[in-house]
Each structure stands twice: as C-alpha cells, then as structure tokens.
Structure 1
Amino acid sequence: MRAGNLLFSTSDWDFQTLSRAYETIEAIGLDELHLDIYPVQMEIISSEQMLDAYSSVGMPLMYRHWSFGKHFLYQDLLYRKAGRGLAYELVINSNPCIVYLMEENTAALQALVTAHAALGHNHFFKNNYLFREWTDAGAILSYLDFAKGYIAHCEDRHGLAAVEAILDAAHALMEQGVFRYRRPPKLSSEKQREGLRERLEYEERSYNDLWRTLPASKSGDQASETASIMSERKKSLKLPEENLLYFLEKNSLILEPWQREILRIVRVIAQYFYPQRQTQVVNEGCATFVHYTIMNTLFDRGRISEGAMLEILRNHSNVIFQPSFDDPRFSGINPYALGLDLMQDIQRISTQPTAEDRDWFPDIAGKGNWRETLLDAWANHRDESFIRQYLSPTLIRKWRFFVLGDAAKEPQYEVGAIHNERGYEKIRAALARSYDIGANRSDIQVVDVDLLGDRCLRLQHKVNDGIVLEEGSRDATLRHIHKLWGYEVSLVGTDAETGATVYERSSSQIGD
C-alpha cells in the first residue's frame, strides 16, 4: 500500500486532512451510493461544547432554561467520572446540514463520523418523507435565533421568574404538544417573522384584561344547553384536539400575547423533533450502513491504512454492540445494530437470496437493486413500517426474537410466537408495533370546554390494555395545565375499547 495514496497516515489531523477526507467520502456517497444531501457545514468543538450541545437538545441556538444547566451538570459528572462517553459527532437537521466533530477525535474517527453524519444522516434528513412533511430544514436555524432573542426580550421585560414559569409548564407538556395526523404550518420566513413581531407588538398594546373577568353563565343557562349547542361548540373549537399546547396557545383566556408566543416556540421545537422519535432505527441504520460501506470501500482502494481500519472497526463495533437480555448493560434493542442488520439483510436478499427469501420478498429477491431498495426505504418508511415490511425470518432467527405474552390476569407468561411460518408474521408485527409511537404514547385530547360557562377544560385519556398514567407525574402535569388555563381542568380515563370510565381526576383535587 503506497503511503502517498493514504488520506492520512497518523492519528493527527488538520483542516486540510478533514477537507481531503470529506471530498473523497462525499464522492463515494454521491456516485456509488446515489445519496442526495444538503450542503455540509462542519465545525470542530471541544468536549465541553459537546456536553453543552447535549444539554440544549442538540441545537446550536437555544433559549435559556434551568433544565439545560441541570442536564449539563449531570452529563459532565458522568463524563468526568468515566460513567459515560460522549458522542463523537452531532448533526443538525438543517440546510446547510451542520455537523459538529469533537476536536479530541483521531483522523480515522473523524473520517468515520464524517461518513456517518455528513453523508448518512444528511441524506436521511433531506429525503425521508416525515422530515420533508413536518420540518423545514432551511428555516429552523433562523427560527431558533428568533426564539432565543424573543425569550431573552421577555425575560428583560417581564422578569426571569415569570418567563421560567411559562417555560416549565410548556416543557412539561411537550409530549402532548405535537400534531400527529395533520400538517402543521411551516416555520416562519423572514417576512413572516417580521409580521409576527408587528402582530405581537399590536397585541401587547391592545391586550384587554377584561377577558379575565368575564362573568360565568348562570347555572340555569348551562343546564338548558342542548346537545346540538354542545356539538356546535366543539365544532367551532375544532374538538377533539390532540395538540394540547396548541389549544392552550389559541384558547386560554388568561395568557398574555408574549406567553402565547412562548408556548408556540416550545411546540414548534417539539414538532421539529417528532420525526426523529419515529425514525431512530431506520435513521441510525442508514447512517451506520453508509459509514460502514464507505469505510470498507476506502480500505479496499488503499485510501486508509490497516491500522486506521482496525481503529474504525473497533469504534464501529462499539456502536453496534448489542448486550444480551441478561447482561447488566442491556437497556433494550440497540437501534444502530438492528438498523444496520436490516439494511445489510436487504443487500443480501437482493444479491444472494435463499428460497425462503424469494417467498417472503419476491419483489427484491435476486434483483440486485439493493441501492434502489434502500433509497426507497430511507425515503418512505419510519421504524414501524420499515420493520413490518423488511424484517426477514433470517434476522428473526439471528436475533432470537419471539413473542412473550404477559397478561395481568394470567398467572404465567405465555410464549405467543416462535420460529415457524405463522410465528414469523406475529413476531414481525409485534416488534413493529413496539416502534409505533402513536400506539405507545399516551393519547390525551381536549374533548370539551364551555368558554361561556364554567370554563372547565375537559381532557380525555384513552386507556389501552389497562395501562393508566402514573399518579405523581399525572397530577404534576395537571397543575401545569391548570397554570396555563387558569380554570379547572378535569381528566377522564376511558377504556379505548369499551368506552367505560377507568378513572377521573381534576385540578381541584390536587394541592398547589
């Protein structure tokens, strides 16, 4: 192997080395894997800056909040006590795509994470349908800049404690602050943001405290309301509403304009991260497959040395390590490992299928078009649908998957599916369902409120499989909702199948 052909010959690196490595890696990704990426902006940061980025949900611009500092101190303690390592890179879903590289990384590791983040994640962010539909990569950084400045302005004008109280309540509701089934508005363009500032200034000037003192309707009037009036009321408020932060922002009678805008900022950020929660396996699998393929290609062509390749493989093995269920380190299925196995299995089925593969995947088995199949999967699937379509019997056997029933009314576990024809289908469906965020996230919706009556905000929680909310966090969240709503809040848990009431709880039952 000629040393002059190597991208780097030592563990040290400089910016010319990084640039040369990126250009070579990009050429392989674009020309041979047919990736389609945003322009890349790479930045070198220290370990402390990486910890700071962790603490502020991985964004380069973020408003201040005490929870970020708390998270920073916790991560810093673990890192310095060797209880946890740091990510070698951080990538931002933006246009241009921002990739942070740790300055402590070796040259080989910088090449690995460049392929992983700047090519793999970048392609996925740009092309996956969830990110294309729910996020605006070209506007997120300017929006965060606006959000940071706006909240700082609110702190100066209204006081840190007042702003912090609103942020605390909004952060507590972030899980219930996203749209799941309809497209939210795009992030504001510069012209729209200017209009937003003008609107907020006008609302600040014209805000009317009389909203807070509207008389409640008489009990007789309330009792005489008919079902048709109730139906019309729900229709006018577009109920039921799944996005609790959105409803409070638009309908709370006690919030001032600046408080409503803070709620909007928090829910926009929650919406931005929502696709990432649904695509962890396929996203990390894409990035890991890309870096593994590119690094092996570079080694085969003599562009990296054997020593560098050993270091790359060691780090790669650490990333995809999957502890067994009885290992103290086990914390669930490693999305990097499962994702990579699924991608490589598609490659195998396309080039070297078995008779079983031809029965299960007739459209791709033996066709040799694994690149096109992967590009289509990366663009059109989330974790649940990707596993449901591409998990093969071969992988089920490799991972030793089976379905274990754990019904509360039964005294024993029951093995519900094993490695046979019918069992493979059940196992695949069960694993896919475990990644369905809609099925695993608490379904809580605003179902009714009488703004001219008692103004009680009525929420409904659809209880699946008898699993109710944990009492402590439930009551704490109700307090936050009450703080933003200003009037009584009731939560009713109903069985998702029968509609029977499982529990009831209201803010009046909870102490301050």
Structure 2
Amino acid sequence: MIDSTTHARPLFDGPDWSFDLMSTVHDAIQEIALNDLGLNIYPNQIEIISAEQMLDAYSCVGMPLMYQHWSFGKHFVRDETYYRKGMMGLAYEIVINSNPCISYNMEENTMAMQTLVMAHAAFGHNHFFKNNYLFRDWTDASGIHDYLAFAKNFIADCEERHGLDAVEQVLDAAHALRDQGVFRYGRPPKPTAQEQAAMLQQREGAKSGRSVLDLWTDTILGSPEQAQSEGEAALSSRQGELSLPQENLLYFLEKHSPNLAPWQREIVRIVRYLAQYMYPQKQTKVMNEGCATFTHYYIINRLYEKGLITQGAFMEMMHSHTNVIMQPEFDDPRFNGLNPYAIGFAMMQDIRRICENPTVEDREWFPEFAGDPDWKSVMRNAWANYRDESFILQFLSPHLIRQLKLFVITDDEKQANLVVSQIHNKRGYREVRQILARSYDLAFLEPDIQVVDADLKGDRELQLVHRVQNGIDLVDEDRTEVLKHIKRLWGYEVKLTGIDRDSGETLYSRTTRVAAADAA
C-alpha cells in the first residue's frame, strides 16, 4: 500500500532513458540503500555498453581490461553466434569488484530495467564486494584496474619481444592450471628477502636479457660449490625448504621452476593473481546473487511505496524479478540444478521472516536472531561473515526446506537404483542442509592436487599427489593434457599419483615419461 504521506511524483514515465534521468534515479536508490538498508558501498561508476561490448565482456570473464588470448576470441564467437540466433540472451548488466565499483548496463534496457539493475548491481553486489570477508581478505578492489593495465601491456610487450606462439604456450599452460592456482585456506607465505630480490631480478630479466641459468643458480641452488657441499637433501628437508606440500601449483611453478625465463614467470604470476582474484566469487555465488536480488527487491518496493515509480514500471521490474528467481521443479525439462538467485533470495527473505515473525520452530533452530527486531543488521552480518557453504549451514531453516521441497538422492555404486535417503521432514532437515551446503564447498567440488616433492639438486622430477575423494577420479584425457602443460612450465618430468583420501591406498600413477598409464 502506498503511504500517502510520502507519495511523490514518479521519477520517470516511459521506457526511454537518459544519463541525467539515470543520475536522478541513482540518487533516489542511494538514499534508500544507504539510509534505510544501511548498505556500505564503493563509489559507483555506471557505464552504458552495446550488445557487442557485453559479449566482449563475457569472453574476458567480465574484466574491463584484459590481455589477449585465443580462448577469449573463441568464447566471443560462440556467444555471439548463439545470441544472433536467439539461442541465448545477455545479462542486463555486469559489475566489477573494484573501487570505484564499475557497472556495465545494456543500452537496450528500458528506464525501468536501468533502475532495477542499478539497485541490483551498483548497490547490492557493490555492498557485498566491499563487505564480505573473502573479498576483503583476498582482493584489492582499489588496485585491480592498475594491475589489469599492467598485465595487458606486459603480455603485449612479451608478444612483440618473444613472439605470439611463445607467449600463448605459457598462457595455455597457466590457464589449464587456473583452478589449481589459488590459495584456498590461507595467505601465501611472505616472500623472504632472497625471494624478493629474485622477483626483482625476474622483472628486470625481461629487459636485461639475463639468462635463466644465472637466475636459477643464484636464487635456487646457490653457487656450484655450495650445491656440491650440501649433497642430496633428504625428502623432509626438501619439503621444509620448498614449503611442501603446496596446493597452489601455479605459485610453486612460478617460484621454483628451473625452466622459466623471467618474463614467463611474470605471465604465470599474472594468471595466478587473476585466478585468486576471482576465487571468492566462486565461493559466494548464492550469497552474492541473493544479496543483490534481495536489495533490488527491497529498493524497488520502497520506490513504489514512495510513488517514485509508476505501476507500469513496477510491474515490468517485478516481471523480470520473477523470471530471475524462477526455480523449475526437478522433473521440469528446464531444470538445471538449484537456481542460485532463487535459493539466495529465498534465504534472505526467510531471515527477515524469522526476525519479524518467528515460530516456535524458528526459535529452537535460530535462538541467536529469531525475533530480533533489527533484521537489517542480521542480514548485513550474514553478508559480511559467511560464504555459501557456511551460510547454508547456519541459516537454512526447516521452513524453507519444506517450502523448496528439498530432498537427498544417494548414488551408491553398490545399489542398483538411486535412493532417496532424506526428505523434508523432522528427521531429514539437518542431513538435507548439510548435504546441500557441501554441494557448494569447493573443497569437495575441485580435486585436491598438491606438490609433495621436487628434488631440485637431483633428477628434478616434480611429484604431485591427487587425494581421491569418494572414488571420483580425474578424466583421463584431460589429466594427460594437463600433465603436459605442467611439464612445459616445469621443464622436467612430472609424476602424478592418485591416493584414496580415506584408506591411503595408491590408486594410480601417471608420469609424463610414458604415453600410457601404469596402473598401481
């Protein structure tokens, strides 16, 4: 119901937008976002782009500046073909985790849609980027633009100096390892004074032409006399010196590869840095979209209540909102898993319900905030201090489990059929919640592959271990290709051993010395 005391003239009445009008609407949204919801945001920079520019942003993982690589062009051609044939649509906007926060809005949007996406991206995503602990701890929003400019110029310079093929070989190998090129559980170790000097030498090496052998001898092995006097180091000693085991393969290769020239190390570092920069977004898809969707929903309703948008504009926005949060049933041909917008928005709405109108069940499950009159503070705390896995474990309620009709299917290789092991009842709530949370935990979704040994003073074979979980192995063809990429960066033989996480049994052993696998 519209509050007549705050009813005002609509800010716009029609589909056409202008920059002045968007600025006026932005200020109205900002007043609600900051003074009502209590959001804390970076300054906004909103840019209007065409469909072709949006496709270009798609191909470069949404970054405003990006180095050249053939894979980006391939993605552009694929997406453009699908778009022109009507087989896919484009996002209304793309938003960058940066300071200022850059939002790219489509020029084809109506003014109503420009209003919606500003509320969604320029305030919802913006607040999440600035306040969630993963983005605070792992990304530098103020420095990303300068770094992207450096990366683009550095790689372009390398292509001119060393040739396009040589640069692409390094990029191909580094891209193949991007998922294994992040620190998952802690900050990278601070570089020692020796490593800092080595990094400076590496960056100067591209200009000075200093040989790789000189760099390797000075920074890793020391003098020949010293290497000879030390002799063959024990495994435990090598692991201590090289900080092994190491989960970040790109980091290890960048720091310790005996084969890479200074400019190649810098390219590996660029790919590793950008992979780490994007990693928090992989861990917070449900929360990030839930925050942005709840924010735009709250703001457009407040705008309508104040009389600042027309009923027609409101209905257009709600139509788009409904499409975004639509969750097909499991037996619907359109079903493709849980829609992160749907579950994220539903959980935000449910947190507000638990605060405003808690049931006895809610008070039993959520004594910390059930009935808390300051639901906005509860929401901001959740956005700041959780990722998808922990957020679901902490905030998914039995009420919402029933509403979403969630259940668990167990795929046991010893059973002839799939088994519905848990349903949305009192006995199954905790198990449903735990298994759903685990499905968003990247520790269970991505293979655990670590460097365990590299005898730098011996045969220099790089030894990797894959800790196999639940019998889920690597795709053999992809594994072979990735090992070739690792060898290209390392320069010597690479051995990958699969070990069962629970039993410790060796499941397989692969080496780049042979074409076929040797079954253990």
TM-score normalised to structure 2 length: 0.92
Q: CA deviation at 1:418?
A: 2.2
User: Quick check: 1:90 aligned with 2:97?
Assistant: no
| Match for residue 369 of structure 2 among 359, 364, 370 | 364
Q: CA deviation at 1:134?
A: 0.3
Q: CA deviation at 1:414?
A: 2.4
Q: CA deviation at 1:230?
A: 1.4
Structure 1 residue ranges without an equivalent (≥5): 187-192
Q: CA deviation at 1:210?
A: 6.5
User: Quick check: 1:103 aligned with 2:107?
Assistant: yes
Partner of 2:433: 428
User: Quick check: 1:167 aligned with 2:171?
Assistant: yes
- Give the partner amino acid of 1:79: Y
- Counterpart Cα distance in 2 of 1:205 and 1:12: 57
Cα distance, 1:254–1:413 mapped onto 2, change above 3 Å: same
* Aligned-residue identity in percent: 57
Q: CA deviation at 1:207?
A: 2.4
Cα distance, 1:111–1:211 mapped onto 2, change above 3 Å: closer
| Match for residue 141 of structure 2 among 117, 137, 147 | 137
Partner of 1:455: 460
User: Quick check: 1:472 aligned with 2:477?
Assistant: yes
Once the two structures are superposed, the pairs formed by residues 19-418 of structure 1 within 5 Å of their partners are: 19-184=23-188, 200-202=203-205, 204-209=208-213, 229-418=234-423
- Give the partner amino acid of 2:414: K
Query: Does the Cα contact within 8 Å between 2:65 and 2:149 map onto a contact in 1?
Result: yes
Partner of 2:494: 489
- Give the partner amino acid of 1:54: Y
Q: Which moved more, 1:25-34 or 1:323-332?
A: 323-332
Q: CA deviation at 1:358?
A: 1.2
Structure 2 residue ranges without an equivalent (≥5): 191-195
Partner of 2:505: 500
CA RMSD of aligned residues (A): 2.2
| 1:318-366 Cα shifts (integer Å, max 9, x gaps) | 1111111122221111000000000000000101111111111112112
SS at match of 1:499: coil
Q: CA deviation at 1:496?
A: 0.2
| 1:57-100 Cα shifts (integer Å, max 9, x gaps) | 10010000000000001110111111110000010000000011
Aligned length: 495
TM-score normalised to structure 1 length: 0.93
- Counterpart Cα distance in 2 of 1:198 and 1:175: 28
| 1:410-465 Cα shifts (integer Å, max 9, x gaps) | 22322222233331011101100111111211000000111111111000000001
Q: Which moved more, 1:248-257 or 1:412-421?
A: 412-421
- Counterpart Cα distance in 1 of 2:384 and 2:452: 35
- Counterpart Cα distance in 2 of 1:208 and 1:308: 63
SS at match of 1:206: coil
Query: Does the Cα contact within 8 Å between 1:479 and 1:510 map onto a contact in 2?
Result: no
- Counterpart Cα distance in 1 of 2:109 and 2:65: 24
Q: Which moved more, 1:273-282 or 1:323-332?
A: 323-332
- Counterpart Cα distance in 2 of 1:128 and 1:375: 9
- Counterpart Cα distance in 2 of 1:232 and 1:197: 27
Partner of 2:13: 9
Cα distance, 1:295–1:211 mapped onto 2, change above 3 Å: closer
- Counterpart Cα distance in 1 of 2:372 and 2:476: 54
- Counterpart Cα distance in 2 of 1:459 and 1:141: 35
- Give the partner amino acid of 1:76: E
- Counterpart Cα distance in 2 of 1:491 and 1:378: 39
Partner of 2:193: none
Query: Does the Cα contact within 8 Å between 2:205 and 2:263 map onto a contact in 1?
Result: no
Q: CA deviation at 1:196?
A: 7.0
Q: CA deviation at 1:505?
A: 0.7
- Counterpart Cα distance in 2 of 1:197 and 1:254: 18
Query: Does the Cα contact within 8 Å between 2:205 and 2:262 map onto a contact in 1?
Result: no
Q: CA deviation at 1:208?
A: 4.2
Query: Does the Cα contact within 8 Å between 1:115 and 1:290 map onto a contact in 2?
Result: yes
SS at match of 2:291: helix
